[in-house]
A and B are shown apart, each in its own frame.
Chain A
């Protein structure tokens, strides 16, 4: 196996910034992840970043993510031993050790944390993930959309319990994983869809770790950070303006809300309304949809071009709302059935963002 490159200490800050942008408002905070990743690289060394073509066809790739309540994982931080226990269990089941770690969700904190997990296992990180963004539910991953059997879920927690689940399908995987997570104190580490490099082709979204780092680097020291970010993402600028209303409602454990952005400068006179759950899901102007999930919609600070999470949205902030196309996999019928507007309760037919502008 030949690594294309290495993730160094200097890559952590841009990676974290890029993951926050790809989080589309959700995916959890990137700060703890960046702190742990910096420490892990200091202790275990730089992490090789590999592509699928660097791996043997039968190499085992382990998609990992932290699941649970963000408030909990910010207080009850992960144990350093968690990834090791998952790797042991995989070796026990498959008869061979894992070859590479992959992020299940590049958006938000779960995009940064895999650097820590890979470093502590001495394994390379695959330059890919299962979403290309952030999503709230376990089955909303490319492996599910690609039709890989949801044969195996391995979970571990801060005290050392290891739970192996063999669910009948992705929806059951979500329900049982949630229950285990609650028993474990609402924070757990999970390997979902352990797969070979061969199976991964077409079933994972490739290049997303380098993409997150490139997004973070684009705004670093840029004279015009926003312009640099728009160019890097090839994004549509939905509006540049000021938040004039944040209306949040808590229903069934999920926070839903509507955010109103009134245009300033060149956008004066226009108003954009943004439907949010854990992520930014639908952008409307004058009753017409301008962008919708699974395309990516991110709110950034107009000055610094840093991503603003949904819980950080506040009246008066000067923000720019950007939207850009999701991975083609999400635009297939299976992709839209899993994470299209109707999967989030919006009675909308999906239209790609580039056809709406």
Chain B
């Protein structure tokens, strides 16, 4: 027998589960998330290993979904110094690199910026020949931990960015790591550049988490392979995650969606993850989270890498019932403050208990008009949110997961049924444990002749990236292919987005 561990670091709790060969849950633990994240991770991991006892030796893999990267950016802590190079002059000079960044984040991250001649037009012509001398001079005058390279229209033509990676290697050897924007994000220069610079700043954080995880495993005498969860609900092998740490941001909601799919056996559904202060709603399409096209702001910086399309509403187990419902929550103090735990603050947990939806707590809760009204308001909030994320399709089930799943009613308008799988309170950790490895690729293709060939190339690139992330080359499949027509262009063109995924190589 072999087994694997899934860990998800959440805002409140760090959850860990162990799955055996047959995908059965054989151990589970919930520990408070520590301010440094690593200690809570160690606690949760230690707890499941203790529970496994002698069978701990059967663990072969650890899959980790963590907030280390997000926290590092939000707290401006442990970030690397980045030399940011943009290839685009004489174009793009009206918005130089890192414009609009909060000053403290910019100070923490920027070793220097350069806007050199290079980049492409939309039709593939070069804006200017790559100014390799300027790049070499900049690299020597700008000591940094990492280099971020962003070329105009690089998602449609990556040669210049790759050339710069070679130059960095020629000049500085392997001492610094290079982030190339075409590997990080899609069209939208400023947003892609921001994501690329953040990625470069996170290399050290990725190394530290990997080292911490390996240390805990070594202390237990375990020789296992770590993987990191990324924001589309799939996994990355350690050396891949080391190159794309920014992709770990947003892995929590993605894990919870994937875990819900696995636990319920339903691959097309709406998922509601009910926590202490909020409920996250997302949509599963073919077992994967539906992604948002909107720009994502991280630590005050706008980025454009794809994230799960999540609608959060202020409704959770700790949400305070007053004249209305929320948005205030007692949060982790629920076990002291809620009526069901002998406290004095009426919460949504109490309202659900009074309505007979669950048996929670240590004290009985008397029914009241205020609590009954709160349940009606909350049900309305949920059905309204379900309708918003469902985009008009009312025939899919709603999978209820998270510690507060019992808050949800037995029937929700807009959903065919409400499914409540077992182990729903650790769905996120389960999601990390069962994930596939994936690769994504975004490009622009002509809409007429050449379209098919361009799409085939995009599929090959996505599949190659999935294999690099750890997928079995024989079992990789294209799981998503989207074409969006571009307006106002002389030659009709489409934006192509491809995603490939497959099980981890044995």
Binds A, one of B34-42, B117-125, B235-243: B117-125
Assembly CA distance A5 to B480 (angstroms): 53
Q: Of the candidates A32, A38, A40, which one forms a contact with B190 in the assembled complex, judged by CB atoms under 8 Å apart?
A: A32
Q: Of the candidates A36, A69, A186, which one forms a contact with B94 in the assembled complex, judged by CB atoms under 8 Å apart?
A: A36
Assembly CA distance A254 to B99 (angstroms): 32
CB distance from B245 to the nearest CB of A (A): 25
Beta-carbon contacts under 8 Å, A104-144 to B: 116, 120
Contact residues in A for B485 (Cβ distance below 8 Å): 250, 255
Q: Of the candidates B93, B127, B188, which one forms a contact with A81 in the assembled complex, judged by CB atoms under 8 Å apart?
A: B93
Query: For residue A116, which residue of chain B has the nearest CB?
Result: B94
Beta-carbon contacts under 8 Å, B108-130 to A: 119, 121-123, 125, 127-128
Assembly CA distance A72 to B444 (angstroms): 12
Assembly CA distance A317 to B390 (angstroms): 11
Q: Of the candidates A31, A36, A76, A253, which one forms a contact with B91 in the assembled complex, judged by CB atoms under 8 Å apart?
A: A76
CB distance from A232 to the nearest CB of B (A): 27
Q: Of the candidates A79, A254, A317, which one forms a contact with B93 in the assembled complex, judged by CB atoms under 8 Å apart?
A: A79
Beta-carbon contacts under 8 Å, B61-118 to A: 88-96, 99-100
Q: Per-residue CB proximity of B337-374 to A under 8 Å, as 1/0?
A: 00000000000000000000000000000000000000
Asked if A77 is at the interface (CB within 8 A of a chain B CB), the reply is yes
Q: Of the candidates A75, A78, A160, A250, which one forms a contact with B122 in the assembled complex, judged by CB atoms under 8 Å apart?
A: A75
Are A69 and B100 closer than 8 Å at their CB atoms? no
Contact residues in A for B95 (Cβ distance below 8 Å): 32, 35-36, 39, 77
Asked if B209 is at the interface (CB within 8 A of a chain A CB), the reply is no
Contact residues in B for A76 (Cβ distance below 8 Å): 88, 91-92, 119, 121-122, 127, 152-153, 189
Assembly CA distance A82 to B92 (angstroms): 10
Query: For residue B387, which residue of chain A has the nearest CB?
Result: A316
Are A78 and B94 closer than 8 Å at their CB atoms? yes
Q: Of the candidates A77, A185, A315, which one forms a contact with B392 in the assembled complex, judged by CB atoms under 8 Å apart?
A: A315
Q: Of the candidates B94, B302, B489, B495, which one forms a contact with A72 in the assembled complex, judged by CB atoms under 8 Å apart?
A: B489
* A71 touching B187 in the complex, CB below 8 Å, given contacts A182-B490, A186-B488, A255-B487: yes
Assembly CA distance A71 to B121 (angstroms): 12
Asked if A158 is at the interface (CB within 8 A of a chain B CB), the reply is yes
Assembly CA distance A53 to B200 (angstroms): 53
Query: For residue B385, which residue of chain A has the nearest CB?
Result: A316
Query: For residue B90, which residue of chain A has the nearest CB?
Result: A79
Assembly CA distance A315 to B290 (angstroms): 15
Are A158 and B90 closer than 8 Å at their CB atoms? yes
* A186 touching B392 in the complex, CB below 8 Å, given contacts A36-B95, A79-B90: no
CB distance from A67 to the nearest CB of B (A): 9
Are B121 and A69 closer than 8 Å at their CB atoms? no
Asked if A70 is at the interface (CB within 8 A of a chain B CB), the reply is yes
Contact residues in B for A245 (Cβ distance below 8 Å): 392
Are B127 and A159 closer than 8 Å at their CB atoms? yes
* Chain A CB within 10 Å, residue with most, of B90, B93, B95, B389: B95
Assembly CA distance A155 to B218 (angstroms): 66
Asked if B220 is at the interface (CB within 8 A of a chain A CB), the reply is no
Contact residues in B for A69 (Cβ distance below 8 Å): 122, 486-489
Asked if A222 is at the interface (CB within 8 A of a chain B CB), the reply is no
* Chain B CB within 10 Å, residue with most, of A75, A81, A182, A185: A75
Are A77 and B190 closer than 8 Å at their CB atoms? yes
* A81 touching B99 in the complex, CB below 8 Å, given contacts A68-B488, A71-B486, A253-B492: no
Contact residues in A for B390 (Cβ distance below 8 Å): 316
Summarize B's interface: helix, strand, loop or mixed: loop
Q: Per-residue CB proximity of B184-197 to A under 8 Å, as 1/0?
A: 00011110000000
Are B389 and A70 closer than 8 Å at their CB atoms? no
Assembly CA distance A229 to B494 (angstroms): 37
Are A78 and B91 closer than 8 Å at their CB atoms? yes
Assembly CA distance A185 to B90 (angstroms): 13
* Chain B CB within 10 Å, residue with most, of A40, A70, A185, A245: A185
Contact residues in B for A81 (Cβ distance below 8 Å): 90, 93
Asked if B388 is at the interface (CB within 8 A of a chain A CB), the reply is yes
CB distance from B415 to the nearest CB of A (A): 14
Asked if B391 is at the interface (CB within 8 A of a chain A CB), the reply is yes
Asked if A199 is at the interface (CB within 8 A of a chain B CB), the reply is no
Q: Per-residue CB proximity of A73-91 to B under 8 Å, as 1/0?
A: 0111111111000000000
Query: For residue B392, which residue of chain A has the nearest CB?
Result: A315
Q: Of the candidates B187, B388, B487, which one forms a contact with A74 in the assembled complex, judged by CB atoms under 8 Å apart?
A: B187
Asked if A8 is at the interface (CB within 8 A of a chain B CB), the reply is no
CB distance from B282 to the nearest CB of A (A): 14
Asked if A164 is at the interface (CB within 8 A of a chain B CB), the reply is no
Q: Per-residue CB proximity of B136-150 to A under 8 Å, as 1/0?
A: 000000000000000
Beta-carbon contacts under 8 Å, A24-38 to B: 31-32, 35-36, 38
Assembly CA distance A80 to B92 (angstroms): 7
* Chain B CB within 10 Å, residue with most, of A69, A77, A317: A77
Are B99 and A159 closer than 8 Å at their CB atoms? no
* Chain B CB within 10 Å, residue with most, of A71, A82, A120: A71
CB distance from B278 to the nearest CB of A (A): 17
Q: Of the candidates B91, B188, B190, B489, which one forms a contact with A159 in the assembled complex, judged by CB atoms under 8 Å apart?
A: B91
Asked if A258 is at the interface (CB within 8 A of a chain B CB), the reply is no
Are A186 and B489 closer than 8 Å at their CB atoms? yes
Query: For residue B89, which residue of chain A has the nearest CB?
Result: A79
Beta-carbon contacts under 8 Å, B383-439 to A: 387-392
Contact residues in B for A158 (Cβ distance below 8 Å): 90-92, 127
Asked if A314 is at the interface (CB within 8 A of a chain B CB), the reply is yes
Contact residues in B for A70 (Cβ distance below 8 Å): 487-488
* A77 touching B153 in the complex, CB below 8 Å, given contacts A69-B489, A186-B490, A250-B485: no
Contact residues in B for A210 (Cβ distance below 8 Å): none
Query: For residue A120, which residue of chain B has the nearest CB?
Result: B94
Contact residues in A for B495 (Cβ distance below 8 Å): 71
Contact residues in A for B190 (Cβ distance below 8 Å): 32, 35, 77
Asked if A163 is at the interface (CB within 8 A of a chain B CB), the reply is no
Assembly CA distance A315 to B94 (angstroms): 36
Are B99 and A75 closer than 8 Å at their CB atoms? no
Contact residues in B for A39 (Cβ distance below 8 Å): 94-96, 99-100
* A75 touching B94 in the complex, CB below 8 Å, given contacts A159-B128, A253-B492: no
Contact residues in B for A116 (Cβ distance below 8 Å): 94
Are B94 and A79 closer than 8 Å at their CB atoms? yes
Contact residues in A for B391 (Cβ distance below 8 Å): 314-316
Q: Of the candidates A78, A185, A250, which one forms a contact with B121 in the assembled complex, judged by CB atoms under 8 Å apart?
A: A185
Contact residues in B for A74 (Cβ distance below 8 Å): 187-189
CB distance from A190 to the nearest CB of B (A): 14
Are A253 and B100 closer than 8 Å at their CB atoms? no
Assembly CA distance A175 to B472 (angstroms): 53
Contact residues in B for A317 (Cβ distance below 8 Å): 388
* A316 touching B388 in the complex, CB below 8 Å, given contacts A76-B88, A78-B94, A159-B128: yes
24 pairs, CB–CB < 8 Å, chain A vs chain B: A32-B95, A35-B95, A35-B100, A35-B190, A39-B100, A69-B488, A71-B489, A74-B189, A75-B153, A76-B88, A76-B189, A77-B190, A79-B91, A81-B90, A158-B90, A158-B92, A159-B90, A185-B121, A185-B123, A186-B488, A186-B489, A250-B485, A316-B387, A316-B391
User: What are the 7 tightest A-B residue pairs by CB atom distance, in nearest-first order?
Assistant: A158-B91, A69-B488, A185-B121, A80-B93, A77-B92, A182-B490, A316-B388
Beyond the given A76-B88, A159-B127, please list 8 additional residue pairs across the A-B interface where CB-CB is below 8 A.
Answer: A35-B95, A35-B99, A39-B100, A40-B94, A76-B121, A76-B189, A80-B94, A185-B127
| Residues of chain A having any CB pair with chain B under 8 Å | 31-32, 35-36, 38-40, 68-72, 74-82, 116, 120, 158-160, 182, 185-186, 244-245, 250, 253-255, 278, 314-317
